[in-house]
Amino acid sequence: MWVIISHQYVVMLTSPSETSEYLKERGDNISSKLIISGNLAVDTFFTISGLLLSYNFMTSRYEKICFSLLDHYIHRYTRLTVPYALTMLVVATVTLYLAEGPLWPLLVKSFQSPCQENWSSCLLYIQNYIDASKICIPQAWYIMADMQLFVTSPMVLFGLWKFTKIAIVLLGSCCLVSALTGFYSIWRDNLPAVIHRTYLFDHESLLKVKMYYENYYAVPHTRASPWIVGIITGYLIFKVKRERRNLVIKRKYLFCFWLLCTAVLVACAFGSPRDLPDQEYNVFCNAFYAAFARPAWAFAIAMIILACATNNAGN
């Protein structure tokens, strides 16, 4: 729901409307941060994706279930590709006839052209690296990034199973490298940490949006840190459940734990650098937030899941 509301805000802001100016002014209000930061929900999905992948793999290895690399990839590819391909077919062919209006043909063309021209690279899940602004169904960047991370998962998971301590150190290093890569992308191109007022109609702003989407937002090397946090958390939950450890946290520490997690989530949601007309752009603040807000958000989400899985939800 959070993602849908955030997307709807962008659609309303960029569409001809009597309320567009009000929405732009409203976007400067700190209360709108909750809508604008809806993209953090995607990092929750990355975290859960890594967590479930890791936990299920560790459980299957513990139960000595045979692992087939071919089945591992075929199952994921068919599960995602069948509904995606059917949706692509609908968008590329019949969407034009589903509604009408003066702007409808232009809107449909913007959706149909990528599906008609780039369907093959989309079905190979590589279009986000070729040209992320021309993905068939723009929201599909997520399944492409997730698929690309999934391709690396056997090496990551077997390493975590066989060489746990070394793997955790390496995963932590990869998490930091991913965050610093995002920092560099924002710093190099003077991009905003969160797309907000840059959703305007002048050429320079639209170019910034395109660069933000292609160089930072839609590529897994800058978005991998929440997935890595999920991978490690899934392993920890598996270890706790397998060894039947009774992790009892005293109530006063539990209160501090939940307070800290809540504070981190609130800071991530409302702490993005403001982009006001009378405020000078600060490249360091934007780059720092873009680099570290996502892993911090993922860490807080992961700790909440871990607490719930170990009966420390506060009861």
Q: Where are the domains of the chain?
A: 2-73+151-309
Highest mean pLDDT among 7-16, 60-69, 272-281: 60-69
Structure tokens at 197: 């007022």
What is the pLDDT of the chain when averaged over all its residues? Answer: 87
Q: What is the pLDDT of residue 241?
A: 86
Nearest to 293 by CA among 49, 41, 10: 41
Q: How many CB atoms lie within 10 A of CB 275?
A: 18
Q: What is the pLDDT of residue 243?
A: 76
Q: How far apart are CA 191 and CA 187, in angstroms?
A: 7
Q: What is the pLDDT of residue 9?
A: 72
295-314: pLDDT as tens digits:
999 999 999 999 888 887 76
Question: What mean pLDDT is predicted for residues 153-180?
Answer: 96
Model confidence at 187: pLDDT above 50: yes
Q: What is the pLDDT of residue 198?
A: 47
Residue 136 three-state SS: coil
Q: What is the pLDDT of residue 282?
A: 85
DSSP string, 212-266: HIIIIIT-HHHHHHHHHHHHHHHHHHHHHHHTT------HHHHHHHHHHHHHHHH
Structure tokens at 110: 């913007």
265-291: pLDDT as tens digits:
999 988 888 654 456 778 899 999 999
**Contact indicator for 159, 153 with CB cutoff of 8 Å:** no
Q: How far apart are CA 74 and CA 307, in angstroms?
A: 34
Model confidence at 72: pLDDT above 90: yes
74-98: pLDDT as tens digits:
999 999 999 999 999 999 998 888 8
Nearest to 14 by CA among 26, 4, 3, 24: 24
Out of 90-99, 190-199, 235-244, least confident range: 190-199
Place of tokens 């170990």: 310
Kindly report whether the global pTM for this prediction surpasses the value 0.85: yes
Q: What is the pLDDT of residue 200?
A: 53
Question: What mean pLDDT is predicted for residues 153-166?
Answer: 95
Residue 24: pLDDT band by 50, 70, 90 thresholds?
A: low
Which amino acid, 63? E
Question: What mean pLDDT is predicted for residues 136-159?
Answer: 95
Question: What mean pLDDT is predicted for residues 117-137?
Answer: 93
Q: What is the pLDDT of residue 234?
A: 96
